[in-house]
Amino acid sequence: MHIDNADPGEIAALREAFGVDDGGASALGWAAVRAFEAEHGIVLPEPYRTFVAEVTDGSHQGPPSCGLVGLAALPSDWPDDGAKRDPGKPFPLTETWVWEADEDAFDDPEAVIEQVIDHGSVVLGTDGCAMNWHLVVTGPMRGHIWQVTDVGALPFGAPFGHTTAEPGFAGWVRHWAAGKEWFDAG
């Protein structure tokens, strides 16, 4: 998983997976990416950073099943609870947490759940029914994809179990492009 330098082969594979051949017309461009990063005090992990700058900023096709949302966008079913997302604040988890089954994992579980949903990540999209995919942009899990649902959150990638996919944005997209189930391990 390369999160600090874009690999040209990964960018080409991402372009092919999404079928983007518009010469960058659907991409944000570097000025917009840098403005987003400056506004939030972050640097997006590669290859996602180069992908939104040079390839495309969102796609009606997946991943996830309802399509990839743009960098500053949220899925259409995102609840309008008045919370302000802050990608610059730390993402609080480093391992799976099913809060519905383990409410005593933290002193203030509601505060941690709010942080998981609203801090330290950009939302990539949804599979519907409050099953959202996040790319962590701050902290020790930077560059990893997480599925955040109404009952818990778990990191995506073979090192974490549940799937044979490589971790990170490129691994997540390759897994989807190969037509594999998200949780195909075991």
pLDDT of residue 82: 66
User: Is residue 91's pLDDT more than 80?
Assistant: yes
- How far apart (Å, rounded) are the C-alpha atoms in residues 130 and 116? 13
User: Is residue 184's pLDDT more than 90?
Assistant: yes
Supply the DSSP symbol for 47: T
pLDDT band (50, 70, 90) for residue 17: very high
Q: At what angle do helices 8-18 and 168-177 cross, to 10 degrees?
A: 40
- What are the pLDDT digits (tens) for 134-166? 999 999 999 999 999 999 999 999 999 999 999
The widest CA-to-CA distance across the chain, in whole angstroms, is 51
Percent of the chain with pLDDT over 70: 99
| 128 in Cβ contact with 150 (< 8 Å) | no
pLDDT (average), residues 4-33: 93
How many CB atoms are closer than 10 A to CB 25? Answer: 8
- What are the pLDDT digits (tens) for 98-126? 998 887 888 888 999 999 999 999 999 99
User: Is residue 63's pLDDT more than 80?
Assistant: yes
Q: What angle do CA 33, 38, 44 make, to 5 degrees?
A: 50
pTM: 0.95
Smallest CA-to-CA distance from 21 within 56, 52, 51 is with 56
What is the Cα 97 distance to its own chain's centre? Answer: 17
Percent of the chain with pLDDT over 90: 80
Q: Is the dihedral of CA 40, 37, 73, 48 positive or negative?
A: negative
CA dihedral 145, 20, 65, 9 (to 10 degrees): -30
| 156 in Cβ contact with 163 (< 8 Å) | yes
User: Is residue 2's pLDDT more than 80?
Assistant: no
Pinpoint the alpha helices (H) of 53-120: 109-118
% helix, strand, coil for the chain, step of 5: 30, 10, 60
- How far apart (Å, rounded) are the C-alpha atoms in residues 55 and 41? 23
pLDDT of residue 101: 87
pLDDT of residue 14: 95
pLDDT of residue 21: 86
The residues near 6 (Cβ < 8 Å, ≥ 6 apart) are 46, 47, 49, 50
